[in-house]
Structure 1
């Protein structure tokens, strides 16, 4: 495991912003769908201290993978439980995708400023925004992995919890431990079990081409 202080300094703002936007999106979607739990817990805020989980944040710093504090909601307050639970879950990753694209738009805007991208400072700022976009594309793909407790798993666990609670508990418990094992293997070896990096590279290159970075 390589601890890169330079990477940390450059990337931490994007991680904090990404996690904050991600959890706020969960909370806001739940609120709009009729549940007040997140609002009452003070999660409808851009204050990162309300969303950061200490252990998850430490893991992000030292391992590159981690999590924020989950947003609570009461399914009984939702009009369409299964559909709305899925919408709440998907809101987080989608917000990271939107944030990543917005950061690329900002980079593109700076890129077309006269002489800006010819200066060392200008190039550094543009590259920094692109790297922050890459991080948020990473949060998007990582959270869509269909392994509990990640958001992608709610596509099927929301039904499983109702139809087979015992199987749901097994999937959730072993899925969580399995995910941690996969993260440890990827961090400490060259084995890539989850093909996240190729996906991040592909979507970043596509968006850069779409925005005409030339």
Structure 2
């Protein structure tokens, strides 16, 4: 493969990957923010997260790892459970909505990729990646590492007086994930997981 072909392929991977990340992240983060607002927490609205603008939801490092490592994360939607009607039960529901929306997006994008397979290879590649990223993030986000959704699920299940204390330490979870990434531990752990998602996506789109 010539240098020109390598550059062309790199650009194709980057562009289709970036669009796929937008497609995977925007619906889940928007719906999560919208639900939190609907149940009484104004925090997502105050910080501009009740929006279909993908750039308010994208995390720069998480986006890059999605494109090149097939897993990643978004900016966490700030939700204050004590502001929600129903408090912890509603917080649990809102926290689980992100992964649920991701699974739904996986099914929709997988179906569309199947339909688009013979039409345009770039459309197919984008939809295929969007499906894969949606499911990967749905399952990855259930890990109980702040600020992933799994940590919020755990926070919702903790005794009342521990929830607020636990959520204050989200920033350390971000640093922990970055450390695992830099030390290449997370890619090693995620590799078989991503391979499984890849095979599952192939089944849906073929």
Q: TM-score, normalised by structure 1?
A: 0.72
Native 8 Å contact 1:142 1:196 kept in 2: no
Equivalent in 131, 134, 139 of residue 133 of structure 1: 131
- 2:30 equivalent in structure 1: 24
- 1:91 equivalent in structure 2: 97
Q: Deviations over 1:148-192 (max 9, x none)?
A: 221112222234373446983797566444322322333797x33
Native 8 Å contact 1:23 1:71 kept in 2: yes
Deviation at 1:87, TM superposition (A): 1.6
Deviation at 1:54, TM superposition (A): 4.7
Q: Deviations over 1:48-87 (max 9, x none)?
A: 2332345654665676655433222332332221121122
Native 8 Å contact 2:180 2:186 kept in 1: no
Counting matched residue pairs gives: 198
SS of 2:158's equivalent in the other structure is: helix
Q: Deviations over 1:100-119 (max 9, x none)?
A: 211111123335xxxxx2xx
Native 8 Å contact 2:70 2:133 kept in 1: no
Matches within 5 A, 1:71-82: 71-82=77-88
- 2:193 equivalent in structure 1: 196
CA–CA distance in 1 between the matches of 2:191 and 2:24?
Answer: 20
Distance change >3 Å, CA 167–CA 140, structure 1 → 2: same
- 1:183 equivalent in structure 2: 181
Native 8 Å contact 1:144 1:151 kept in 2: yes
CA–CA distance in 2 between the matches of 1:123 and 1:12?
Answer: 16
Structure 2 unaligned residues grouped into runs of 5+ = 1-9
- 1:14 equivalent in structure 2: 20
Query: Is 1:109 matched with 2:115?
Result: yes
Q: Which has the larger radius of gyration?
A: 1
Q: TM-score, normalised by structure 2?
A: 0.74
Q: Which range moves more in the overlay, 79-88 or 123-132?
A: 123-132
Q: Which range moves more in the overlay, 141-150 or 180-189?
A: 180-189
Matches within 5 A, 1:31-46: 31-46=37-52
SS of 1:192's equivalent in the other structure is: helix
- 1:48 equivalent in structure 2: 54
RMSD: 3.4
- 2:7 equivalent in structure 1: none
Native 8 Å contact 1:149 1:172 kept in 2: yes
